[in-house]
Amino acid sequence: MRCPLLVSLTLTAVLAAPAVGPSAAYAAVETVSKSGPCRLQEAGAFDDAKLFKITLGKALRLTTRWRIDEFFGKRIINANVTVQNPSSKTMFFHYYVAFFDKDGHLLGCAGQGSLSDDGLAPGDETQLGSCLIPLPAEAFKAVASYKVILYESDTMVGK
């Protein structure tokens, strides 16, 4: 039979011990998120008046150009973005977006980010072109809101 006092002291020592190992090596990651109502329209990449645009970021500047479009014969939500790095250091990032109906049910989502060891150099810009969300025909009309999150760091996100 174990002594309750010994078990309690052991548990207290484990919980009070400093964190070591991989979790202690994580770099600080800034998180920026936004959400709100949205109405997506059928549009091409250069139909500026029809694109759903927002910007977000702390060190980085992410700009959306969301729209309903066609890609290789499929209707999609084109959730691509442009990411600029106006900061003075190389930055890493990952972006996720989700679209919901009026009742808050998820319709579709996508994500993409900097996956190389190089990151985004100061003054550079990149486009995330793989954030394409094919949906059933009736779902496009149901899009009522979005939620987006951007993780940004001076070290690779996820390492």
Judge whether residue 1 has pLDDT over 80: no
* Least reliable range by pLDDT among 24-33, 90-99, 107-116: 24-33
CB atoms closer than 10 angstroms to residue 99 = 25
Residue 93 has pLDDT above 70, yes or no: yes
> Among 110, 80, 85, 93, which residue's Cα sits nearest to residue 30?
93
Give the residue with greater pLDDT, 56 vs 6: 56
pLDDT tier for residue 87 given thresholds of 50, 70 and 90: very high
Any idea which residue has 């250091």 for tokens? 89
Checking if the pLDDT of 8 tops 70, the result is no
Supply the pTM of this predicted model. 0.81
Q: What pLDDT, in 10s, does the model give residues 115-145?
A: 788 999 999 999 998 999 999 999 999 999 9
pLDDT band (50, 70, 90) for residue 159: confident
Tens of pLDDT, residues 11-62? 333 334 344 444 444 458 999 999 999 999 999 888 999 999 999 999 999 9
Residue closest to 39 by CA, chosen among 50, 30, 26, 55: 50
Q: Domains for the chain: give ranges and CATH numbers.
A: 28-153 (2.60.40)
